[in-house]
Amino acid sequence: MRVLVADFGGLRVKWGIFERGKLVRRGIIDSVSVRDPEKFLGFLRGLEFDRFVLGFAGLVKDGVVLHAPNHPRWEGYDLKRIFGEYDVVVENDANLFTLGEAIYGAGRGKKFVLGITLGTGVGGGLVIDGQIIRGAGGLGMEIGHITIGIDGPPCNCGSYGCAEAYLGGIYFVERAARLFVRHGKSAPKSMRQLEEFARMGVSLARNLWREYGKYLGVLVASLINVFDPEIIVLGGGIAAAYDLFKDDMYEEIKRRRVAYVLDTPVVPSELGTDAALWGGYHLVAPRPQ
């Protein structure tokens, strides 16, 4: 049985084909090139597989896309109907990331794993005993929309001061660009560039990453206080800058977590961009009898 898993992120779709427990083929395509489900169907027809798992950044219930701020053309589509010929499983992309890390990555052997994806937006997942916890209506763990600033900046979801409005890549780069321009410098255009500036020793960039760690620490401390997980795994493109924000993140966590909680490790992903692919594979993989 060949399993295709596609991880549909804000900017890129990462995909992989698994056969007998191995990732045998993989690729990356631009999200814009498959910006509506019909275009995506065209892409699928060029691949050979038996089962299909789609990890999607947005709120998906019973296969219907309810809300997808980064992929507005997908809203309202019934993915199970459109991809019906392929026996599709649709799952939130952050849930797949967390499941992948919990089974095969940094959370291996742990019972209670919380995942946070720091990409264009901010997603989250919770896996207990190898099972994804989705909440009563299947839409839980939207930790990117926990308010961390009551009068904070507006968020794509319609609310204000969400964690995503501080930690999501698009918001962070925007904030950085304003600061650079105010200091008479040319604005960074991406997270990657902001990371490069910091590594080159540009103090504005270094301070922005320290501030990033502080906001992330505020969010993570609340998650630790609520869930008391064994481990928290950070994924998404921003996790590559872990060393630039780690110290400030831990400092803020110590300041805000309740005293009896032990030191919860908050670590970067082990599987990187493959984590969600492995999570998707695990969902449908044949189990040993």
129 to each of 74, 95, 113, 229, how far by Cα in Å? 32, 14, 9, 12
Rounded Cα distance between 129 and 99, Å, is 10
Name beta bridge partners: 3: 18, 51
Rounded Cα distance between 207 and 197, Å, is 11
Cβ nearer to Zn ion, comparing 163 with 275: 163
Q: How far is the CB of 243 from Zn ion (least distance, A)?
A: 28
Q: How far is the CB of 236 from Zn ion (least distance, A)?
A: 16
Cβ nearer to Zn ion, comparing 137 with 288: 137
Q: How far is the CB of 152 from Zn ion (least distance, A)?
A: 10
Q: Residue 175: how many CB atoms within 10 A of its CB?
A: 16
Q: How far is the CB of 143 from Zn ion (least distance, A)?
A: 10
Cβ nearer to Zn ion, comparing 162 with 238: 162
Cβ nearer to Zn ion, comparing 159 with 193: 159
Q: How far is the CB of 93 from Zn ion (least distance, A)?
A: 16
Cβ nearer to Zn ion, comparing 79 with 155: 155
Q: How far is the CB of 60 from Zn ion (least distance, A)?
A: 17
Pairing of strands 122-128, 131-132: antiparallel
Rounded Cα distance between 164 and 151, Å, is 14
Cβ nearer to Zn ion, comparing 15 with 166: 166
Cβ nearer to Zn ion, comparing 117 with 264: 117
Cβ nearer to Zn ion, comparing 101 with 142: 142
Q: How far is the CB of 158 from Zn ion (least distance, A)?
A: 7
Rounded Cα distance between 85 and 51, Å, is 10
Q: How far is the CB of 56 from Zn ion (least distance, A)?
A: 17
**Site residues (vs Zn ion, CB under 5 A):** 145, 155, 157, 159, 162
